[in-house]
Amino acid sequence: MSQTLTKNPFDLTEAVNNLVTEDDEPVDNLLSGKQQRLLTEPLYSFWTPPQEEGQSAQRRPFWASANVGIFPSLYQPPLVPDIFLSLDVAVPEDMGKKSNRSYFYWEYGKAPEVVIEIVSNRKGGELSSKLRDYARIGVTYYVVYDPLGELSDEELQVFVLRDGRYELMREHYLPLVGLGLTLWQGMYEGITGRWLRWCDRDGNVIPTGEERAAREAERAAREAERAAREAERAAREAAARQEAEARLRAEIEARQQAEAEVARLREELARLRSQT
């Protein structure tokens, strides 16, 4: 008696549901957490990605996240960069679904354009294994930010993928995404220090939502001050105009009174002459 073996069809949904997309092990320090927020929040608060030729006028979607796993395939462990930025990819609406909790390469058909790693110790492999891993999956720009000088004297290194290998860029502007990176001295979330910031081609930092609100408030205050000065000037001009009009009316009235007095005196003189 022979048995027929049936091959179970591959179930991608089940395979994804069985993936470990997060764990409970803390991996970041306070500085890294703040730096990650500073590299994601401004993009959603202010930035508009550059439009490619032939694209509609609708805002180009993008996905920027911190500590979210990038799965190259079902059979490879995820890469978990401190920051990634992927253009033409929308953040999933239902982020509670297992299939939407990570960046699955096969779902989006490409790697993120930018990956940023923040060095906190010498064990992360940012300039060795991770350099190879991100090149292998096709990340266009790989950024290593080493604020404590753990791996190099270079605080910021930006690499671009060419022919499957990363080359160090002299400039820190990333033309394919229309963004640059700059080191900025200032206060963020109550901490004054040196931070890695996104910037435009001219080096102007992409503001956070708080900075944008502060600028808008400052602009509104300047506009209110300008309007107050304009109102004060208009009031002075109106007062001067009223004073001039009152002075003119007084002069006209005085002239009329003088002319009336002259006329009366002439009449009186004529009357006296007629009596003699």
Instruction: Report the SS3 class of residue 90.
Output: coil
Per-residue pLDDT tens, the chain, 276 aa: give them.
Answer: 444 444 455 454 544 444 444 554 545 678 889 999 999 999 999 999 998 776 666 789 999 999 999 999 888 899 999 999 999 998 877 766 766 789 999 999 999 999 999 999 999 999 999 999 999 999 999 999 999 999 999 999 999 999 999 999 999 999 999 999 999 999 999 999 999 999 999 999 999 999 999 999 999 999 999 999 999 999 999 999 999 999 999 999 999 998 999 889 998 888 888 887
> Which domains are assigned to the chain?
16-206 (3.90.1570)
Q: Which residues of 135-167 are buried (b: 16+ CB within 10 A; e: fewer)?
A: bebebbbbbbbbbeeebeeeebbbbbbeeeebe
**Quick one: pLDDT at residue 3?**
46
**Quick one: pLDDT at residue 164?**
96
**Quick one: pLDDT at residue 101?**
83
**Quick one: pLDDT at residue 16?**
46
Nearest to 115 by CA among 168, 75, 79, 163: 79
CA distance 169 to 180: 12
**Quick one: pLDDT at residue 26?**
46
- For 32-63, the pLDDT digits (tens) are 899 999 999 999 999 999 987 766 667 899 99
**Quick one: pLDDT at residue 52?**
78
Amino acid symbol at 38: L
**Quick one: pLDDT at residue 199?**
98
Strands 141-145, 156-162: pairing is antiparallel
CA distance 99 to 21: 9
CA distance 61 to 58: 9
- For 94-116, the pLDDT digits (tens) are 766 766 789 999 999 999 999 99
